[in-house]
Chains A and B, each alone.
Chain A
Amino acid sequence: MTPARRVTTQELLGRLTFSAEPWMSCDECFEAVDGYVEMLLAEAPDSIPGLRAHLAACSACLEECRSLLLLAAADAGVDPGRALERLGNA
Chain B
Amino acid sequence: MAPCDTDWVVLLSTTGPGHEAALAKLHGLLLKAVRHQVLQMYGRLPTIGVVRVDELINQAADEAMVAVLGKLSTFQGRSKFSTWAYKFGILYAAVEVRRSMWRHWDVDLASVPEQPGHGLVPEEEAEGAELSVAIREGLEKALTPHQRRVLIALLIDDVPIDVLADRLGTSRNALYKTLHDARGRLRRYLTQAGFLGEPTSRVIP
Report A's interface with B, CB cutoff 8 A: 1-10, 12-21, 23, 25-27, 30-35, 37-38, 46, 49, 52-53, 56-60, 63-64, 67-68, 70-72, 75, 86, 89-90
Contact A12 B205 (CB under 8 A): no
Contact B176 A26 (CB under 8 A): yes
Known contacts A13-B195, A60-B160; A89 and B176 CB within 8 A of each other: no
Q: Does B137 reach chain A (CB closer than 8 Å)?
A: no
Q: Kindly specify which of B6-14, B15-23, B55-63, B81-89 makes contact with the partner chain.
A: B81-89
Q: Does B36 reach chain A (CB closer than 8 Å)?
A: yes
Report B's interface with A, CB cutoff 8 A: 32-33, 36-37, 40, 74, 78-80, 82-84, 86-87, 90-91, 94, 98, 102, 105-107, 116-117, 119-121, 124, 127-128, 131-132, 135, 151, 155-162, 172-173, 176-177, 179-180, 183-184, 186-187, 190, 195-196, 199-202, 204-205
Give bound CA distance, A37 to B17, whole Å: 33
Could you tell me the dominant secondary structure of chain A's interface residues?
helix
Taking CB atoms, residues of chain B closer than 8 Å to A68 are 83, 86-87, 90
